Amino acid sequence: MLYRLCRDLLYGMLKLFYGLKVVGAEQLPEKGPVIVVANHTNLIDPIVVGCSLRQRQVCFMAKEELFRIPFFGGLLRRLGAFPVKRGQGDRGAFRSALEVLSAGKVLGMFPEGTRHKDGKIHPLRPGAALLAVESGAMILPMVFTGTRGLSLFRFPRIRAYVGSPFKLEGPAAKKDLIREGTDQIFTRLTELRKNTGAGMENG
C-alpha cells in the first residue's frame, strides 16, 4: 500500500514536471522473478524505473549510509529497498537480492555500477548476470533519456524505453555463462539505446 501510494504520487510529479513517457512497459513479465537492468545517469533513476513499471513493485539495493538516517532508513525498507556496502563484495546484499528473486519479485539494478553523464552504456559489472544465473530470473533491459540533464531548475522530458525480457541459459560452465551473460546484457542495453529515441539524446 505504501509503495503504491508513493509510486503514484511520484509518477504524477514526473508526468507533470518532466512529461514522463514510457515505451514498452507491457514487456514486464506479469509474474515470476525479474531483474530490471538499466543505464544510470542520475540519482532519480530508481524512481523512474519504479514509476515506469507500475504493474509490479521494484526492489532496489541502496547504499548502506541511507539506512542510518532516522525515519528515512525505515521508509526505504518499507518500500522494499535493502542496504549494500559499496566498493566491496557484500555477501549480505547478494543474499538479500537472491531472497527478493526467490520470492518471485522484481529487482532493479544498474549494472554499470555508477552514474555516467555522457549518454553511453559503459562496461558492466557481473552482479546482474550472476544473480540471473543463480536465480533463473528473467532479465528486462531498460534505458532512459532526459535524466542526465535533470537539475533543480531544469526540467527535461524524460523517456523510458523497455526492451524484451530474456533469460541466461546455455551449456557453458557457470563462470563462462556469467561472463557471456554480462556481455549479452551490455549488447541488449546498447541496442535498445541505439534502436529507440534514447540513441538521439542530447540533454
Spatial CB neighbours of 187, under 8 Å, sequence gap ≥ 6: none
Domain ranges within the chain, ordered by starting residue: 2-200
Cα 4-9-160 angle, rounded to 5 deg: 85
Taking the C-alpha atoms of residue 201 and residue 182, their distance in angstroms, rounded to an integer, is 24
User: Is 164's pLDDT higher than 90?
Assistant: yes
| Diameter of the chain measured on Cα atoms | 52
pLDDT at 199: 61
State residue 144 phi and psi, 5-degree precision: -120, 160
pTM: 0.91
Written out in words, the top-level CATH class of the domain with range 2-200 is alpha beta
pLDDT tens digits, one per residue of 57-94: 999 988 788 888 888 888 888 888 888 876 566 788 88
Mean pLDDT of the chain: 89
Q: How much is the pLDDT for 25? A: 96
Cell reading at 61: 539495493
